[in-house]
Structure 1
Amino acid sequence: MKFAAIADVHGNRPALEAVLADIATLGIDEIVNLGDHVSGPLEAARTADLLIERGFPSVRGDQDRILVELWHAGGSARGDFRQLERKHFEWMASMPSTLMYRERAFLCHASPADDAAFWLDRVTADGSVRPSAIDTIEAGAEGIDARIILCGHTHIPRVVRLRDGRLVVNPGSVGLPGYDGKVPVPYVVEVGTPHACYAILEHAGGDWSATIRYVPYDNAAMAALARSKGMPIWASAIATGWAEREVT
């Protein structure tokens, strides 16, 4: 069994198109999507249209949930919200928060119990982002009867082998390789490459393996779009992979 996992597209349709083309070139037919599909200043509706057309097994991310909540509440002035139509909100609302894929792989957005949690990584008191302790990761995986568990949310690609042999994989972000956050303290995530990122999962010889794959694409237009929408951190990350660099 072999399939690809994508996550955190965040409305970056060119990055998504490049990843899907790369997956097709490798002859992989199955793809799962771990959420946060469209949020941000980029191409929310065009990205949603492509994902709806492809119909991948998908879970709802925290930003998808927030957009649906705003829709139920009657609207929002957010730029991504104003791009979307009823069909897009209904599509996100229909997604589960977790999913067992083909009875073998457990899918969630951030952690099995919380769609907005850092799980494989943590934010320290000084704002650094570091790998979580194995005890913390294993506690989050307790009770999950699957040999492979997939999560996203942090945008940081990570492969963790639990002590009981299960594999936990974060495929990184298709569309946004860096960003800043404020909770629990101000912090910055930056992965150091502007390339779109995804994972290939394969079961062979009785065990699971994971490959993180980076795909170059024409990212300049998306960086310029983020900059034009007043999102300089996004613009920098999409252009360079570093979230704190000023891009001119």
Structure 2
Amino acid sequence: MIGLISDIHGNSTALEAVLAALDSMQVEGIYCLGDVGGYYSEVNACCDMLRKRHIPTLMGNHDWYLASGEPCPRSQSANDCLAYQRSVLAVEHLEWLRALPLELEAGSLRMIHGGWRDPLEEYLVPSDAYFADLDGRYFASGHLHVQYVWQGAQATYCNPGSVGQPRDGDPGAAFATWDGTGFTLHRVGYDVDRTAAAMRAAGFNSYYYENLYGGTRIGGKLSPRPVS
């Protein structure tokens, strides 16, 4: 059994809780589907945890924004957080982010951050037609921050949700496990106050972190699960 995590977004307290939960399950390995960076203030701690544990990690769109210096095209609040992260990101972590791959495989499981039509920015909508064009049986991606499993005629797809910024109305840090034939979804609570305190210390007001208490996007909106 392996663990699948995604969309950590600089929330080291949530990442610590998820890694502890996966350790208690005695998983054989952990894979990260991208977006180590973006949003919350402790990006260096998140990079450090993943690197010390040698966790294979995909490049997400926010990782690419940090690595390239390009802005997020959709969100000023995301860009405010990216600007802070660029100012504090250790050089060795920046170089690590720049070298992250776009796709990973673990046995028969194929993983990507966004989707196979656009590895960084696609919000994948699963369907039999979508996966008919791809080799494989099991697939996983992140990016949406909404946790679910989809079962098709010839493919099974999982979005493990977001460790650091859930957007499905549940504030618990989200992750998944895969046992070679199926996915299981998990949530774990963590000390949101600690993440909020770190953001305040970094100079951010509550607008940038109050969403964590409700499991929403910054600004309070939910992200719906795609319907194929």
Corresponding residue SS for 1:78: helix
2:143 aligns with one of 153, 175, 179: 153
1:142 is displaced (CA, Å) by 3.9
Q: Does the aligned pair in 2 maintain the 1:173–1:197 contact within 8 Å?
A: yes
Q: Does the aligned pair in 2 maintain the 1:173–1:196 contact within 8 Å?
A: yes
Q: For this pair of structures, how many residues does the alignment match?
A: 207
1:95 aligns with one of 100, 103, 106: 100
Deviations 1:91-130 (A, max 9, x none): 111111112223x11110011121111113xxxxxxxxxx
Q: Does the aligned pair in 2 maintain the 1:112–1:141 contact within 8 Å?
A: no
Corresponding residue SS for 1:99: strand
RMSD: 2.1
Q: Does the aligned pair in 2 maintain the 1:227–1:234 contact within 8 Å?
A: no
2:165 aligns with one of 170, 176, 190: 176
Length-normalised TM-score, structure 1:
0.77
Residue 63 in structure 1 maps to residue 62 in structure 2: yes
CA distance in 2 between counterparts of 1:240 and 1:224 reads 17
Distance change in 2, residues 1:225/1:240 (3 Å): farther
Residue 183 of structure 2 aligns with which residue?
210
Length-normalised TM-score, structure 2:
0.83
Q: Which has the higher strand share?
A: 1
- Amino acid in structure 2 at the alignment position of 1:40: Y
Q: Does the aligned pair in 2 maintain the 1:224–1:235 contact within 8 Å?
A: no
1:46 is displaced (CA, Å) by 1.2
1:193 aligns with one of 170, 174, 180: 170
Structure 1, unaligned stretches of length 5 or more?
Answer: 121-133, 178-189
Structure 2, unaligned stretches of length 5 or more?
Answer: 71-79, 221-228
- Amino acid in structure 1 at the alignment position of 2:112: C
Point out the structure with max Rg over C-alpha: 1
